[in-house]
Amino acid sequence: MPPRDPVLLVHGFMSSGGDWEVLRTRLLAAGYRDSEIAAMSYDSNQPNIAIAEEVAAAVDALRAQTRKKRVDIVSHSMGAISTRWYVEELGGDERVDAWVSIAGVNDGTYWAYGCLGVVSCVDMLPGSDTLAILERELDTDGAVRFGAWWSPCDTLIVPNASARVPGARNVRTSCLDHFTVQDDPTVLAQVERFLQAKHATR
């Protein structure tokens, strides 16, 4: 197996690190050590900028544990916002090789209007201040490889195309719902290949 980066898994809105067992199992079967995979959990009742600080701490812990310079990040749903904030605003571009979004809230979702009592939902609104900054700062020509998987049948990312990232490797999945896409064998096989592709120049 070619050199690989450790992998940080970041869940979505009101979920937990336990939601990644299918991908974790696949990565272990592919030859990753348990110590090379971390699935963080966070409190969704806080701004995504605050969650990004927790992502930064989790990345540093994984780097220290594995003695690797860079990690790969795989996110689901709202996890795309905090992880991109880390990459684009907190110096994560120097510590991340591949960033993956599965059904990510990359350009907002109208679904978020239904949960505005939770501060992180404000970040998910189309055109939110947080997303506007991320759009302005996005650099897909840098060292970080960006990949986004999106489903045409996702009823929580509205419109579906909002899960795409300009300039990234954008992959349309089959007709999968917002949560099934996270465990879909075809999607996860594609994500694995993306993670293990040629790394960015160090």
Is the model's pLDDT at 16 over the cut of 60? yes
| Angle in degrees, 0-180, between the axes of helices 185-195 and 21-29, rounded to the nearest 10 | 50
Q: Could you tell me which residue, 107 or 1, shows the higher pLDDT?
A: 107
Contact 20, 11 (CB under 8 A): yes
Residues 8 and 152: their CA atoms lie apart, in Å, by 26
Q: What is the DSSP string of 66-130?
A: HT-S-EEEEEETTHHHHHHHHHHHSSGGGTEEEEEEES--SS--GGGGGGTTSHHHHHTSTT-HH
- The model's confidence at residue 1, banded by pLDDT at 50, 70 and 90, is low
pLDDT (tens digit, 9 = 90+) per residue, 31-50? 999 999 999 999 999 999 99
Mean local confidence (pLDDT), 60-77: 98
**Both structure tokens of 110:** 């109208």
Residue percentage of the chain with pLDDT more than 90: 95
- Span 120-177, pLDDT tens digits: 999 999 999 999 999 999 999 999 999 999 999 999 999 999 999 999 999 999 999 9
CA pseudo-torsion sign 70, 50, 151, 34: positive
Q: Which domains does the chain possess? A: 7-195 (3.40.50.1820)
Mean pLDDT score of the chain: 96
